[in-house]
A and B are shown apart, each in its own frame.
Chain A
Amino acid sequence: MFRTVTIFVFIATFVCIGICCLLSPCSKECRWGPVSVLRRLIHVFTLLLLQQKLSPIGVLKKLIYLLAMLCFIVLAITGFYQRLILDEPISGYLIMIHATFAPIFAICLAALAVMWASRNRFKKSDCPLVQRILRSVTRLRVPIEASGCNITFVAQKITFWIIIFLALPLILSIIMSMFTLFGTTGQEFLLATHRWTALAFAVAAIVHIYLTIRTQMKQYYSN
Chain B
Amino acid sequence: MKSKIIAALVLSQLLFTYPVLAGDAKLPGDESDGSRAIPIHLIPLYAENEAGEKGEQINPDAEFPMPFSTRWSCSSIDCHSYETVSKGWHFNSVEPNVPAGRIGQPWIYFDPKLGLQVPLSYRPWPGTFRPEEIGLSAFQFTRIFGRHMPGGGLGEVDSNDFDEIARQYVSGKLEVNCFACHNAHYGQDMGGLGGYAVQLSRENFRWAATASCEFASVTGSAAKMLETYDPFMPDPDEKDAPRVTYQKERFNENNEVLLQIVREVPNERCYYCHSNLYYSHSEETEKWTSDEDIHLKAGLKCVDCHRNGVEHNIVRGYAEEACISRNPLAATSSCEECHLPDNEDNPKAGRFGAPIPTHPGIPPIHFEKLTCTACHSGPWPADRTVLTKTSRAHRLGTPNVNKAEEMLPHIISPVFAKEGDIVAECSGRLAASDGGKIAPHKVIWPAYWGKLEDNGVKPIELAIVEKVISGVFTDIETPATGDWPVITKEMIATALKALAKAVDGKAVYVAGGRLYSLDDSNQLVEQADHPAAAPYMWPIAHDVRPAAQSLGVRYCEDCHSPDAPFFFGSVTIDTPIVSEREFTKKMVEFQDISPFYAWAFAFSFVFRPWLKVIALACAVVIAAVLLLYALRLLGCVAKVFAERE
Residues in A lying within 8 Å of B, measured CB to CB: 89, 91-93, 96, 99-100, 102-103, 106-107, 109-110, 113-114, 117, 121-122, 134, 138-140, 161, 164-165, 167-168, 171-172, 174-175, 177-184, 187-188, 191
Contacts and interface: CB of A to CB of B under 8 A. Distances in A.
Interface in B584-602: 597, 600-601
A178 B605 CA distance: 11
Contacts of B4: none
Given A106-B619, A179-B361, A187-B364, A140 B640 contact: yes
A171 B615 contact: yes
B622 A109 contact: yes
29 contacts: A89-B365, A91-B365, A96-B597, A96-B600, A100-B604, A103-B615, A106-B618, A110-B617, A110-B625, A117-B628, A117-B629, A121-B632, A138-B643, A140-B643, A164-B626, A167-B619, A168-B622, A168-B623, A171-B622, A174-B615, A175-B615, A175-B619, A178-B361, A178-B612, A181-B360, A182-B361, A183-B357, A184-B359, A184-B362
Nearest to B358: A183
A191 B364 contact: yes
A65 to B, nearest CB: 16
Interface string B510-533: 000000000000000000000000
Contact of B614 (A100, A106, A134): A106
A118 B626 CA distance: 11
Contacts of B631: none
A159 to B, nearest CB: 15
Contacts of A107: 614, 618
A180 B41 CA distance: 55
B611 interface: yes
Contacts of B619: 106, 167-168, 171-172, 175
Nearest to B365: A89
A177 B611 CA distance: 13
Interface in B412-434: none
Contacts of B622: 109-110, 113, 164, 167-168, 171
Nearest first, the 3 closest Cβ-Cβ pairs linking A and B are A183-B358, A180-B361, A106-B618
A106 B625 contact: no
B645 interface: yes
B625 A102 contact: no
A140 B645 contact: yes
A183 B644 CA distance: 51
- The residue in B360, B365, B619, B644 that gathers the most chain A C-beta atoms within 10 A of its C-beta is B619
A180 B632 CA distance: 36
Contacts of B601: 96
A183 B359 contact: yes
A134 B626 CA distance: 24
Interface of B: 357-365, 367-368, 597, 600-601, 604, 608, 610-612, 614-619, 621-623, 625-626, 628-629, 632-633, 640, 643-645
Contacts of B608: 178
Given A134-B640, A164-B622, A168-B622, A188 B629 contact: no
A175 B365 CA distance: 16
Contact of B640 (A103, A138, A172, A181): A138
Nearest to B611: A103
A1 to B, nearest CB: 17
A122 B632 CA distance: 11
Contacts of B618: 103, 106-107, 109-110, 171
A153 to B, nearest CB: 17
Contacts of B363: 177, 187, 191
A168 B364 contact: no
A168 B626 contact: yes
A174 B362 CA distance: 12
Given A96-B600, A187-B364, A191-B364, A139 B625 contact: no
A104 to B, nearest CB: 9
Given A103-B610, A110-B618, A165-B626, 6 more contacts: A164-B625, A175-B616, A178-B361, A180-B361, A181-B361, A184-B357
A110 B621 CA distance: 6
Contacts of B628: 117
Nearest to A88: B368
B614 A182 contact: no
A103 B614 contact: yes
B625 A117 contact: yes
B361 A188 contact: no
B220 to A, nearest CB: 61
A122 B358 CA distance: 46
A114 B625 contact: yes
Nearest to B596: A93
A207 B626 CA distance: 20
Contacts of A182: 360-361
A117 B623 CA distance: 12
Nearest to B619: A171
Nearest to B603: A96
A139 B643 contact: yes
Contacts of B626: 113, 164-165, 168
Nearest to A116: B625
B227 to A, nearest CB: 65
B360 A180 contact: yes
Contacts of A93: 597
A208 to B, nearest CB: 16
A106 B364 CA distance: 24
Contacts of B364: 184, 187-188, 191
Contact of B362 (A103, A110, A164, A187): A187
Given A93-B597, A184-B364, A175 B612 contact: yes
A102 B643 contact: no
A178 B622 CA distance: 20
Nearest to B641: A138
Contacts of A91: 365
Nearest to B609: A178
A188 B362 CA distance: 10
B622 to A, nearest CB: 5
A121 B629 contact: yes
A181 B360 CA distance: 6
A30 B632 CA distance: 40
Contacts of B614: 103, 106-107
A129 B363 CA distance: 49
A175 B608 CA distance: 10
Contacts of B360: 180-183
A184 B621 CA distance: 29
A96 B615 contact: no
Contacts of A121: 629, 632
A184 B612 contact: no
Contacts of A178: 361, 608, 611-612
Given A113-B622, A121-B629, A172-B619, A102 B365 contact: no
Contacts of B358: 183-184
Nearest to B620: A110
B548 to A, nearest CB: 13
B365 A99 contact: no
Contacts of B597: 92-93, 96
Contacts of A171: 615, 618-619, 622
A91 to B, nearest CB: 7
